[in-house]
A and B are shown apart, each in its own frame.
Chain A
Amino acid sequence: MWPIERLRRAEPTVAPPEAGAAVTVHRNGGWRPGARWARETASQLVPIREGAGTALVTSIRNGNRIEIAATCPRARAIGLTPGMALSMARAQVRGLDIRPADPEGDMAALHGLAIACARYISPIIAIEGADTLFLETTGVDHLFGGEAAMARRLARRLARFGYTAHIAIADTPGAAWALTRHGAVALCPPGAQAEALAPLPIEALRIEPAHAELLHRLGIDRIGQLAAIPRAPLVRRFGAGLAKRLLQALGDLPEPLDPVLPQAPIAVAQRFAEPIATPEAIAHWLGALVPQLAAALEAEGLGASRVELVAARIDGVPQRIRIGLARPSRDPAHLLRLLTRRIEHVEPGYGIDALTLHVRRAEPLGPEPFVERLDEEAAPDLAPLVDTLATRIGLDRMWRTRPVESDVPERAVARAPVLDPPARTSQRLKAGDVRQLDRNAPLPPWHPLWPKPARLLARPERVDHVMAELPDHAPRRFTWRGRAHRIVRADGPERIHGEWWKRDAERDSIRDYFRVEDEEGRRYWLFRRGDGERAVTGDLSWYLHGVFG
């Protein structure tokens, strides 16, 4: 159910949750007095929207065989079960909706849910198996108005997100697990797990299938029967695992959890007895805070890429400074330089009584090699400069250029992010590749010998009074921006066809480019639309597109 519901949730048009929530809570006298375990599992229930949509299953490859990994309730009602061969399911059901299974994604989403529950219910939470969460709820139920109310609220909230949950509250994790999967009791009274578990099948103890089968053959079907057997022969026959599971479920042995810890946000704060108001004071305390922040980042092995300074004003209007870093960093000097540069944006008002630095986004930052080769000089690190300029003019007004394979001049260049220029070095060739024999230097990005202008007009500008012989002679004179030019020398045409393989509108269009020089030595790049012979290629109008130096 968990994978299916997660899949449904990920779809752009979210269908309403198709299964209701079942809440079971149970408890027992645990290994730790008063320990309470709530357990929540995505499980199967009657679909709410019967008949809507088609049956949904996920498929996974198991050795040679492709089989069903998970099924929706509708598919289960038809008779499809996990582990069934997919070809058989296809033969049985027409129009079956099959998606690839994604166990890692399911696990990651379950982890996210665990983090959310840890924030919402109780801080100690552990993941068990592929679809179960254990929550340590000791001492938190009164915050929700009792255990039953807490379970109901949790189930309601999960249902709102489209997840079906079975919830049980008991004194031990083992008992809670058993009750969600095999029992009808939601809330097990304290110390009563032995009675609650007694009628359940032995599979509810999380034991190995081989052991369960052997026990069935011996006539032991219920946990109550198993609990009545003396322990010593049981251990001799089945090993310690079975007895341990039984004792853990009954609360006679501890079952420690491996909790999922939500990552704590990194922040450092400084409060003041007397409010500060001057930029010098703010700068002084920033100088004290930023090294602390850097130390906190270093302890986590992270580099900050977004940092926010919140200055709490005494009138309750927080002042914020946000800085972004082009590359994650935890260099205190660099962070401090970026922050102090923006102190002027803080309006102290009647005074500031606390400064807090929050890391809003961080990325892992480990050690990096300085130079790959010992014999070449290290390239200067431009990240500090880019950060400094980005705080002044914004990162969107800084760029590099990247060559694009296109002969149309305005498409030959694209903007690229200012850091991390894409390495044009091709991927490493294999040992026996014949291309390794090629000793030529890599090709230049643009043709080095066809002259290109130094500046290109954003839109080609129409020129007037052009005198040129058809079909392919350069113009003799033209007028641009109100000034007449008499042409002494010219080169051309360089014919550029429209990119008909990309754009239908350019199927026939042609530009003939000419490089012309007037009598004063000024050099321009003109083009004529059309080849001068066929009207479909262009209307023979002349434009100025760029200027040479």
Chain B
Amino acid sequence: MADPAVLKQLRETLNSLETGAFRRRPSLPFGIEGLDARLAHGGLRLDALHEVAGAGEDMADDCAATLFMAGIAARAWGPILWVVRRRDLFAPGLSQAGIDPKRLLYAEAQDDAELLAVMEEGLRHRGLGAVIGEVKRADMTATRRLQLAAEGGRTIALLQRRHARAGSDPLSPPSAAVTRWRIAPAPSAPLPVEGVGRARWRLDLVRQKGGDSFTIEVEACDETGRCALPADVADRTATAGRANRRAA
């Protein structure tokens, strides 16, 4: 029996058995078919924890992860709480990833434990669209707490894992996050003239719940927080808009 409606219902039942509640979970698609189709929920689940790490220890990798999270938060609804350890976020740069400064609240935590607690408060408040934190160490218990706090709401939790020691992989310890991403900057889109084109990232989905891992190269967030597929990767001709931007 190949009735798609029945199959869909069975899939939802199975899904609810796995995670506890039977209902449709809201998700936030990237708007890129090649990416959304490979994600379990057709996008990032809004009521869940997602982990992002830079591929290397260089600050540029860290910033790529920052902007990746900023773009996701910008496309979410409502105010954003960003829990930081250092005061080095640059609001004009974040606004170019789509975050209106009026939407963004900053909180500074003194250590990782406090940061995780503040994130949990933000998730339980239910009035925020996104809660972002940057942390060096978070064990299974801490991430499970965040995941439980996020469930049932509409607040997406984004946790940036920093490199704790030289040479260590921040995504190697186990975690309750639904998706775990590794971001590396890639050479920017080539321009016919001298200059730096639109930034590109290599997204590495290391692990996702209910899906497979994959690697994809995308163009970085634009001023609305949307990523895009590079024209040569997408195996299609450039759209009119992109051709214009190249010519410009």
Segment with Cβ contacts to B, from A129-137, A287-295, A452-460: A452-460
Contact B79 A380 (CB under 8 A): yes
The residue on B at minimum CB distance from A514 is B196
With an 8 A cutoff between CB atoms, is B199 at the interface?
A: yes
Does B92 sit at the interface, judged by CB under 8 A? yes
Question: Is B147 in contact with chain A by the CB < 8 A criterion?
Answer: no
Q: Given contacts A401-B101, A453-B63, A456-B90, are A384 and B125 in contact (CB under 8 A)? A: yes
For window 342-368 of A, CB contacts with B under 8 Å fall at: none
**Number of interchain pairs (Cβ within 8 Å):** 177
A515 lies within 8 A of chain B by Cβ:
yes
B70 proximity list for chain A (CB < 8 A)? 454
- Contacting pair A547 B59 (CB below 8 A): yes
- How many angstroms from the CA of A382 to the CA of B155 in the assembled complex? 14
Interface 9-residue window, one of B24-32, B185-193, B233-241: B185-193
Q: Which of A92-100, A141-149, A441-449 contacts B (4 or more CB under 8 A)?
A: A441-449
* CB pair A446 B127 closer than 8 Å: no
* Interface size bracket, B side: 35 or more
Give Cα distance in the complex from A418 to B105, angstroms: 7
- Considering the chains assembled together, what is the distance between the CA atoms of A393 and B97 in angstroms? 28
The answer to whether B88 touches A458, judged by C-beta atoms less than 8 angstroms apart, is: yes
A489's closest neighbor in chain B, by CB?
Answer: B196
Contact-size category for A:
35 or more
Q: Is B18 an interface residue (CB 8 A)?
A: no
Cβ of B58 < 8 Å from any Cβ of A?
A: yes
B121 touches which of A381, A389, A421, A458 (Cβ 8 Å)? A389
Please encode chain B, from 50 to 64, with 1 for each CB lying within 8 Å of some chain A CB and 0 for all others.
Answer: 000000001111111
Residues in B whose Cβ lies below 8 Å from that of A455: 59, 62-63, 66, 88-90, 93
Q: How far is the CA of A385 from the CA of B128 in the complex (A)?
A: 10
Residue of B nearest to A545 (CB): B90
Question: Whole-angstrom distance between the alpha carbons of A234 and B79 in the complex?
Answer: 76
Interface positions of B from 176 to 207, Cβ below 8 Å from A? 184-188, 191, 194-197, 199-201
| CB-contact partner of B60 in A380, A392, A524, under 8 A | A524
CA distance A421 to B200 in the complex (A): 34
C-alpha gap A177/B185 in the complex (Å): 86
Most buried by B among A424, A448, A451, A521: A521
Q: Is the CB of B88 within 8 A of A456?
A: yes
Cβ of B200: which chain A residues have Cβ within 8 Å of it?
Answer: 521
B91 close to A (CB within 8 Å): yes
User: Does residue A549 face the partner (Cβ distance < 8 Å to B)?
Assistant: yes
In contact, B107 and A397 (Cβ under 8 angstroms) = yes
Q: Are the C-beta atoms of B199 and A413 separated by less than 8 Å?
A: no
Contact check, B223 vs A448: say whether CB atoms are below 8 A apart. Answer: yes
Q: Cβ of A489 and Cβ of B194 under 8 Å apart?
A: yes
A451 nearest CB neighbor, chain B only: B96
C-alpha spacing A168/B127, complex, angstroms: 63
What is the minimal beta-carbon distance from A245 to any residue of chain B, in angstroms?
Answer: 63
* Most B C-beta atoms less than 10 A away, residue of A397, A418, A488: A397
**Which residues of B in the span 111-130 have a Cβ within 8 Å of any Cβ on A?**
114, 117-118, 121-122, 125-128
B68 partner residues in chain A, CB cutoff 8 A? 549
Chain B: minimal CB distance from A55 (Å): 55
Q: Which of B94, B95, B108, B109 gathers the greatest number of chain A CB atoms within 10 Å?
A: B95
CB neighbours of B81 from chain A (8 A): 385
Contact of A381 among B63, B88, B127 (CB under 8 A): B127
- What residues on B are CB-neighbors of A399 within 8 Å? 105-106
Is A336's CB within 8 Å of the partner chain B? Answer: no
Asked if A385 and B187 make an inter-chain contact with CB atoms under 8 angstroms apart, the answer reads no
- Tell me the smallest distance from the CB of B120 to a CB of chain A, in Å: 11
Return A521 CB to nearest CB of chain B, in Å.
4
With contacts A489-B196, A549-B64 taken as known, whether A452 is within 8 angstroms of B127 at the C-beta atoms is no
Q: Are A393 and B107 in contact (CB under 8 A)?
A: yes
Q: Which of A398, A412, A517, A546 touches B196 (beta carbons < 8 Å)?
A: A517
Q: For the complex, is A119 an interface residue (Cβ under 8 Å from B)?
A: no
Give complex CA distance A456, B93 in Å.
9
Let me know if A61 is at the binding interface, CB within 8 A.
no
Residues of A within 8 A of B105 (CB): 382, 386, 398-400, 418
User: How many Å from the CB of A333 to the closest CB on chain B?
Assistant: 14
Is A241 located at the chain interface by the 8 A CB criterion? Answer: no
A195 interface hit (Cβ, 8 Å): no
- A409 CB-CB contact with B under 8 Å: yes
Instruction: Give me 18 other A-B pairs in contact (C-beta within 8 A), A380-B128, A382-B128, A490-B195 excluded.
Output: A393-B118, A400-B102, A401-B106, A421-B102, A424-B102, A446-B92, A448-B95, A448-B96, A448-B223, A454-B66, A454-B93, A491-B196, A517-B188, A523-B185, A523-B188, A549-B67, A549-B201, A549-B220
**Which 9 A-B pairs rank lowest in CB-CB distance, beginning with the nearest?**
A380-B127, A549-B67, A522-B60, A456-B90, A446-B92, A452-B92, A549-B64, A401-B91, A549-B63
A-B CB contact pairs (8 Å), 19 listed: A379-B79, A380-B79, A382-B79, A382-B105, A382-B127, A385-B128, A392-B114, A393-B114, A399-B105, A403-B101, A421-B102, A448-B96, A452-B92, A452-B93, A454-B90, A455-B93, A489-B195, A524-B60, A549-B199
Chain A interfacial positions (CB closer than 8 Å to B): 379-382, 384-386, 388-389, 392-393, 397-403, 409, 412-413, 418, 421, 424, 444-448, 451-458, 483, 488-491, 515-517, 519-524, 546-549
